[in-house]
Amino acid sequence: MTGIEALTVAAGVSALWWGLLRQRGWGGRVAALLVMAAWAVAADVWLWGALAWVTLVGWGWRRWHPHTGSPRGQAGRLREGMRQLLLLSWTLVAAQYLLYVWQLGRGETPLLARPDIVDAFLPIAGGLGLRAWGALGLTDPHHPAATVTLLVISLSALLLGRSFCGWACPLGLIGEWLHRLRSRWLPGEWTPPRWLDMLLRAQKWLVLGFLLFIILLAVPTAALPGYLASSYHQAADMKMGAFFFTLTPLAAGCLGWVLLLTVTFRQGFCRYLCPYGAWLGLLAVVAPLRIRRDKSRCLRSQGHDCDKCSRACPARIEVHQVIAVRSLECSDCRRCMAACPSRANALHLGSARRRLGAPLQLALLCLFLFLLPLLADGLLDLWVSQTPLAVRRHLLALLPYLSH
Ligand code: SF4
Ligand code: SF4
């Protein structure tokens, strides 16, 4: 792992500990001890150093910024904190990766290592790697981080729904900022009519269908080892980068369309284009933890015409009309809960019997997003790409000619 990856994992595992230790009873403490044991087994010297830094910075932060907010606003603060830290981490990762490829292209030895987390942007490589692992027991030596990230994010959706979208995805946060910027210059919340909304939403299902076709059908199982060894697959990250950075008319058109939807509509990218969000929404159908409304506490049962939860929902879900939110668009962002008047407190995230507090939601998400990849790296050696530097340099020179 690179320094930025190690710092991010250390921060995520610290948040996991923190969330577990805030649980009442012995369960949380036992789980925190198990996490500590897993860390001790899997962490290398880089990660221990990163943990020391994170602890020091966290201690300093708590000392100079003592916690003053209300407990009701805790979820919002945790969510914003996590999203902003991950965006910062992604920005540094992108800068390090660009520097790496630039130096590679100039024939120099890169100063800094390639951050393997960039492979998280390769859903096809991840899906085919996962298939090869499951069907043939073959691990992908070139983009193992793509396999691991696709697996852990999908697993998180089976338990926590689309919490990844609401709490961790940096693209969602950038989209919100761009939309806010547009609203400042051109005020107004623009909501498309229902028919256009459905038409626009069809885009992400089409993209997801295309990706699933390639992952599940286009490459026969027997051909998977050959595909994973191909030059095209080995250079998949550089091909993806070149698509966006060389700005062909096609790439410029795609980027322009993404930007237009993002600034025009609230959550335009997540709602209309992101195939990852569509995939996680499908998996979230079976998730036991979801937003639930207690009818007996809801002010509507007392005759008030309240719909504050629905008005706060960025996904335009009619929360005030349902008992449990089953929409594929819900990202467990808890904005509806924050909007519900405190005298009612009628909404919760959890199962029908148990409320899931924001610290535990954060902890569970960190378990999937940080602890499992750490174990995959430390115990299974499944994170760092094994593609030799000379091969990568050679493929970079051939990039325009590589195709599947
Ligand atoms: S229903 Fe609540 S948690 Fe789900 S997206 Fe809407 S505001 Fe967020
Ligand atoms: S905001 Fe709370 S009280 Fe109002 S409709 Fe929604 S759940 Fe009921």
- Looking at residue 352, its pLDDT comes to 83
Is residue 247 pLDDT above 90, yes or no?
no
Residue 327 near residue 162, CB atoms below 8 Å = no
**What is the pLDDT at residue 44?**
92
How far is CA 37 from each of CA 24, 26, 40, 207, rounded to the nearest angstrom? 21, 17, 5, 41
- What's the confidence (pLDDT) of residue 67? 66
3-state secondary structure of 347: strand
* pLDDT score, position 186: 86
pLDDT band at 62 (very low <50, low <70, confident <90, very high): confident
Within a 13 Å sphere around the CA of 147, how many CA atoms are in the beta-carbon half?
24
SS3 call for 324: strand
In degrees and rounded to multiples of 5, residue 290 shows phi and psi of: -150, 170
Rounded to the nearest 10 degrees, the angle between the axes of helix 275-283 and helix 144-160 is: 50
The CB density around residue 255, as the number of other CB atoms within 10 Å, is 13
- Distance, in Å, from the CA atom of 380 to the CA atom of 188, rounded to the nearest integer, reads 51
**pLDDT reading at 25 higher than 80:** yes
Choose between 399 and 152: higher pLDDT: 152
Ligand 1 binding pocket (C-beta < 6 A) is 291, 312-313, 315, 317, 319, 325, 330-336
Position 279 scores a pLDDT of 96
Nearest-CA residue for atom 5 of ligand 1: 330
Arithmetic mean of pLDDT, 262-284: 94
Whether 228 shows a pLDDT value over 90: the answer reads: yes
Q: What is the pLDDT of residue 195?
A: 92
275-330 pLDDT per residue, tens: 999 999 999 999 999 999 999 999 999 888 999 999 999 899 999 999 999 999 99
Beta bridge partners of 222: none
Condensed to tens digits (0 to 9), the pLDDT of residues 120-178 reads 999 999 999 999 999 999 999 999 999 999 999 999 999 999 999 999 999 999 999 99
DSSP codes, 277-319: HHHHHHHGGG-S-EEEE-TTTSGGGGT----HHHHH-TT---G
Percent of the chain with pLDDT over 90: 78
CA dihedral 293, 277, 253, 171 (to 10 degrees): 80
CATH topology of domain 290-350: Alpha-Beta Plaits (3.30.70)
Strand locations in 219-358 (E): 290-293, 347-350
CB 292 within 8 A of CB 350: yes
- Tokens (6 digits) for 358: 């924001």
From CA 80, how far away is CA 113, in angstroms rounded? 29
* pLDDT bracket for residue 68 (50, 70, 90): low
What value does the CA radius of gyration of the chain take, rounded to a whole number of Å? Answer: 22
Residue 82, pLDDT score:
94
Pocket of ligand 2, candidates 299, 313, 325, 342: which has the most ligand atoms within 8 Å of its Cβ, to mutate? 299
Max CA-CA distance within the chain? Answer: 72
Please give the average per-residue pLDDT across 215-238, as a whole number.
94
Q: How far is the CA of 309 from the centre of ligand 1 (A)?
A: 8
Tell me, in angstroms, the distance from the centre of ligand 2 to residue 280's CA.
Answer: 27
Ligand 1 center to 328 CA (angstroms): 11
* Bigger pLDDT: 46 vs 64: 46
Relative to beta strand 290-293, strand 347-350 is antiparallel
Sign of CA dihedral 136, 374, 362, 168: negative
For the whole model, what pTM was predicted?
0.91
Q: What is the position in ligand 1's atom list of the atom closest to the CA of 347?
A: 2
Across the chain, mean pLDDT equals 92
Q: Angle 240-246-252 (CA atoms, 0-180°, nearest 5)? A: 90
Q: Inform me whether the pLDDT recorded for 69 exceeds 70.
A: no
Helix axes 358-366, 74-105, angle to 10 degrees: 20
Q: What is the pLDDT of residue 341?
A: 94
Specify the higher pLDDT residue, 140 or 69.
140
Which residue's CA is minimally distant from atom 2 of ligand 2? 340
Neighbours of 319 (CB within 10 A): 28
Of 26-30, 156-160, 350-354, 389-393, minimum mean pLDDT range:
350-354
Residue 272, pLDDT > 80, answer yes
How many residues are given for the chain? Answer: 404
Q: How confident is the model at residue 71 (pLDDT cuts 50, 70, 90)?
A: low
Whether the per-residue pLDDT at 64 is higher than 90: the answer is: no
β-bridge mates for residue 291, sequence order? 349
Question: Which pLDDT value is given to residue 244?
Answer: 76
Pinpoint the residues of the chain covered by CATH 3.30.70.20: 290-350
Span 239-259, mean pLDDT?
Answer: 86
* Closest-CA residue to 151 (of 118, 123, 115, 116): 123
Q: Ligand 1 pocket test: which of 328, 333, 347 has the largest number of ligand atoms within 8 Å of its C-beta?
A: 333
Residue 98's identity, in one-letter code, is L
Q: How far is CA 400 from the centre of its chain?
A: 30
Residue 72 or 23, more confident: 23
